[in-house]
Amino acid sequence: MADATADHSATGSLQVLGRAVILLGPPGAGKGTQAQRITQWYRVPHLSTGDMFRDNIRRGTELGLKAKPLMERGELVPDEIVLSMVEDRIAQPECRDGFVFDGFPRTVVQADALEQICQRNHLGPTVVIHMKVDPDLLMRRLTGRRICKGDNHIYNIYDRPPAVEGICDVDGSELIHRPDDTEGVISERLLKCGASHAGVLCQRP
Ligand SMILES: [Zn+2]
């Protein structure tokens, strides 16, 4: 995938994804970046359960009304509701040629259910991309990360520093170091992540 932004329709190749792509990996592995490349290349949507919740709540659907009070109280939304939303979303024509899912499924039960939903919607076997990155490199990426207060522009003090220390090149706003990008917090997240891989899935940051 040398040029993910290429307009492949111009080359005459008609590549149809025809399936779900799931990205797994520790925080900082670059799942978001890869998801964006795949969705641009295949012209498929990038799904997230967060967007589905927001959409259902905005439209006042039955599922949205059930999920809203749980989310407001910070409680876990049960699988039954999550999976119904996922099923509705995948049944939409926009998902006919496949899609990329980031942050879902998180459990084996959800993964099995997703596979069945895909089959019902005539999609091929799901592709799972498990991203592995050297823990030292992840630590460097995350501890070095700085985010601008203005518009969330992302920098890295080691690999992609701003022209002026602590200041965003684009909009001049202050760059901040998120409290969960410190070494202690990251080690804990990476440990948790490693442990859950045996059971398939890894938590998002
Ligand atoms: Zn900025």
**Domain holding 48: CATH number?**
3.40.50.300
d(CA 13, CA 195): 41
* DSSP character string of 158-198: TTB--SSTTB-TTT-PBEE--GGGSHHHHHHHHHHHHHHGG
**Residue 2 forms part of a structural domain:** no
Q: For residue 168, what are its two tokens?
A: 């965003």
Give 104 Cα–ligand 1 centroid separation in angstroms: 29
Residue 174 CA to ligand 1 centre (angstroms): 8
Same domain, 26 and 106: yes
pLDDT (tens place) for every residue of the chain, 205 residues total:
444 444 444 444 468 999 999 998 887 788 888 888 899 999 999 998 888 999 999 999 999 999 999 989 988 899 999 999 999 999 999 999 999 998 899 899 999 999 999 999 999 999 999 988 888 888 888 899 899 999 888 899 998 999 999 999 999 999 999 887 888 877 777 766 554 443 334 444 3
pLDDT number for residue 62: 96
Please check whether residues 17 and 87 belong to one and the same domain: yes
Q: How far is the CA of 166 from the centre of ligand 1 (A)?
A: 11
Q: Distance between alpha carbon 36 and the CA centroid of its chain, in Å? A: 9
In a shared domain, residues 70 and 89: yes
- Count the domains in the chain: 2
pLDDT, residue 193, reads 57
Whole-number Å distance, alpha carbon 147 to ligand 1 midpoint, is: 8
C-alpha 187 chain-centroid distance: 20
Which residues form the domain of 163?
A: 135-194
Together in a domain, 69 and 163? no
Residue 159 lies in a domain: yes
Q: How far is the CA of 204 from the centre of ligand 1 (A)?
A: 24
* 59 and 127 housed in the same domain: yes
pTM over 0.75: no
Which one of 132, 164, 183 terminates a domain? 132
In a shared domain, residues 114 and 18: yes
**Residues with catalytic function:** 31, 106, 145, 178, 189
Amino acid at 166: G
